[in-house]
Amino acid sequence: MAYFKDADEVYSYIGKLFEDLAQDEELAPKFQKANTVVQYQYSDPESTITVKLLEGEEGEVDLGETSLEPEVVMTMDADTAHRFWLGKVNVTVALARGQMKAKGPVAKILKLVPLVKPVFPRYRQMLQDAGREDLLEAA
């Protein structure tokens, strides 16, 4: 059974994490160095998060429909995304196995991977604060 029951749950946790990061004074400028627009297309449940990471511009996170035009599209199931933000997914293995698929100039996204490590405890804390230990235990 999938960890998230519907798209709204994906947006409430993973989407909220992206929104928080876009406002983070320390991390947001580092992520914006990617200078791209990334769309995360999740399955099971179907959900879409689009993130604008453009240098010198305000960050933007769209949950669901968007008018942003993505340059990079990352496709995976929502469970894999959840496990990624808990620090339990090796990106290179996930790409090799096809659990994550990356379309577009992938290097722009890969350069962000080393930056995300400090975010893992934040995601874990967010779930704990929301009383969603079930999501922590399931993964």
Q: Is 124 in the site for other proteins (CB under 8 A)?
A: no
Using the rule CB under 8 A, is 105 a contact of other proteins?
yes
* Single residue of 5, 57, 92, 130 touching other proteins by CB under 8 A: 92
Query: Binding to other proteins by residue 133, rule CB under 8 A?
Result: no
> Which residues ranging from 13 to 72 are in contact with other proteins (CB under 8 A)?
33-34
**Cβ of residue 19: shortest distance to other proteins, in angstroms?**
21
Distance (Å, rounded) from C-alpha 23 to C-alpha 21? 5
Q: Give residues in contact with other proteins (CB under 8 A).
A: 33-34, 84, 87-93, 95-98, 101-108, 110-111, 113-114, 116-117, 120
